[in-house]
Structure 1
Amino acid sequence: MSRNRIGRWLIAVPMAALALATIYPLVFTANVASKTRHEYVLDRFSVAESPRWENFGAAWSGADMERYFLNSVIAVAGAVALLLLIGSMAGFALSRLRFRGSRALFLGCLAALFIPFQVIMVPLARVMGQIGLMDTYPGLILAYVAQFLPFTVFLMTSYYTGIPAEIIDAARIDGNSVYGVYLRMMLPLGRPALLSVGILNALFCWNDVLIALLMMPSAEHRTLMVGITSLRGQYSDDIPAFAAGVLIAALPILLLYLFFQRQITAGVTAGSTKG
């Protein structure tokens, strides 16, 4: 066997094992969600005899998941919109505008990537409570922006750095101001990166539990992922209904990933190279 074939096998086998380890929990959860409570108690690993779609209806209506779903959509949409606006402006400024402290500001954004949320969660909760933003949509949106903005700025700065400077110079010669260059040149050219970063931030915000649990303590303002965690206690004796709720929460983000997986890969790659 040639070295190239050995090398391909050394890569393919671990990747196949990783793919199987990733897919199996989803398949197992779908199988459990299709069972009756009696079938699950008898043998949790057996294949369901016939799909029980009633479990999905029970999880959706019984746990008030419609409200949780709406809360997540509002929080994620608002956070992603703000992240793209602020991140694209900051990326343009840090990559193309030279001002005192720009390098230090960019290094500060990089340093913020390594600060876990657990370090700032207590001061954040105190500040949000003092200004009256606890248990509100604006408070949760701002918390998401604060947490994921360094990542957004880093990727947008990396992407804008790769755009030829001649394009910017030509736009300035044509009479565009700094704002004109940003609106007419950088935003259209940055659409691929904006789409990638937007999808990644939507994934982060949708899957978040800790920030939403801290910022939205009341039951009526829970996001979908926080609401799913409460299902475990509500349906402690009905695991199939709980598994159905988990699948409902995972389905939107799974579909988003399947449709935009190339853009997600491009978004990760955009920040891994130096422009």
Structure 2
Amino acid sequence: MPQARVGRWLVAALMTLLALATIYPLLFTANVAMKTRREYILDRFSLADSLHWDNVTTAWSSAGMDRYFVNSLIVVTSAVVLLLVLGSMAGFALSRVRFRGSATLSLVFLAALFIPFQVIMVPLARVMDSSGLVDTYPGLILAYVAQFLPFTIFLMTSYYRTVPAEIIDAARIDGNTLYGVYRRIMLPIGRPALLSVGILDALFCWNDVIIALLMMPSPDHRTLMVGVTSLRGQYSANIPTFAAGVLIAAVPVLLTYLFLQRQIVDGVTAGSMKG
């Protein structure tokens, strides 16, 4: 009993240290964003004397973060919708429809998960440039879909395989086509996994810098994360304004984790917990 109690205290202490190490950078950034330039130069680690929202206003309007935010919102929303539609349909086909080469195709999507983007970065850029899709919303959306579709398909395939075959057989006996089974049966059953993978795909696309920087070289088309990296050079002498830009980019991700963490965990583990 004492050993078990010591083990629990040790785990709790390690988790507390990990939580503090994760939370501290965000708190430090928020504190710097509320300082004036003079306060930061005098003591960067002290608490802000008062809340100076001018840095946030400057980063949002003068530095163009509002435009970058809208760009990210358009691209991420469109990419996630396409990923969910294609991923759920492919997951249903690979898990419940038997056709020649289905097993091989599943292995191909699984293998694609282990290919780093840096390997396909140059060929992708050449294909997109020759197609006239560089520096366009459709080009970046398609790049995100190509990058994160294997993950979406893998997760949806794993989830749909847990659905009892009797449900599908009963739906076919009632006269449903394969599309009818997918739309009336599999889509409603797969809502937890769709919500989970949609949140994860949105976070992946939102936090991306490399693909967006490659596909959107124009300043007017930058996404939010690329815009934050550009602020480092633009406001290198005004760190509080740069910190305010980082804070603006971090708030949507933080809110997503705070309010949807249960859905993320439940959806990811659903395939292994059901059945």
The TM-score normalised by the length of structure 1 is 0.97
In structure 1, list runs of 5 or more residues that go unmatched.
none
Residues 13-67 of structure 1 deviation map (CA, whole Å, 9 limit, x = unaligned)? 2211111110000000000001110010011101111111111001111111111
Deviation at 1:268, TM superposition (A): 2.7
Instruction: Give CA-to-partner distance per residue, 1:214-246, whole Å, 9 cap, x none.
Output: 000000000010001111111111100110111
Corresponding residue of 2:65: 65
- Which whole-Å deviations, capped at 9, do the CAs of 1:143-180 have from their partners, x for residues lacking one? 00011011101110111011111100000000000000
Report whether the alignment pairs 1:38 with 2:38: yes
Structure 2: stretches of 5+ with no match in the other structure = none
Matches within 5 A, 1:29-108: 29-108=29-108
| Contact kept? 1:32, 1:48, Cα under 8 Å | yes
RMSD: 1.3
- Partners of 1:267 and 1:184 lie apart in 2 by 20
C-alpha separation between the residues in 2 aligned to 1:7 and 1:164?
Answer: 40
- Contact 2:91 2:160 (8 Å CA) reproduced: yes
Which residue does 1:239 correspond to in 2? 239
Which residue identity lines up with residue 201 of structure 1 in the other structure? D
C-alpha distance 13-272 of structure 1, shift in aligned 2 (>3 A): farther
Q: Structure 1 CA distance, aligned partners of 2:2 and 2:15?
A: 20
Shift of the 272–25 alpha-carbon distance from structure 1 to 2, 3 Å rule, reads farther
The count of residues paired between Structure 1 and Structure 2 equals 275
Percentage of identical aligned residues = 76
> What is the distance in 2 between the residues matched to 1:21 and 1:196?
26
Partner of 2:178: 178
What does residue 149 of structure 2 align with?
A: 149
Q: Is the Cα contact below 8 Å between 1:109 and 1:154 reproduced in 2? A: yes
1:189 aligns with 2:189: yes
Secondary structure of 1:260's partner?
helix
Aligned to 2:118: 118
Task: Encode CA deviations 1:130-149: one digit per residue, 9 max, x unaligned.
Answer: 11111110110010001101
Distance 1:9 1:150 in 2: 40
Distance 1:145 1:90 in 2: 13
Query: Structure 2 length normalisation: TM-score?
Result: 0.97
- Residue 167 of structure 2: aligned partner: 167
Partners of 1:158 and 1:274 within 8 A in 2: no
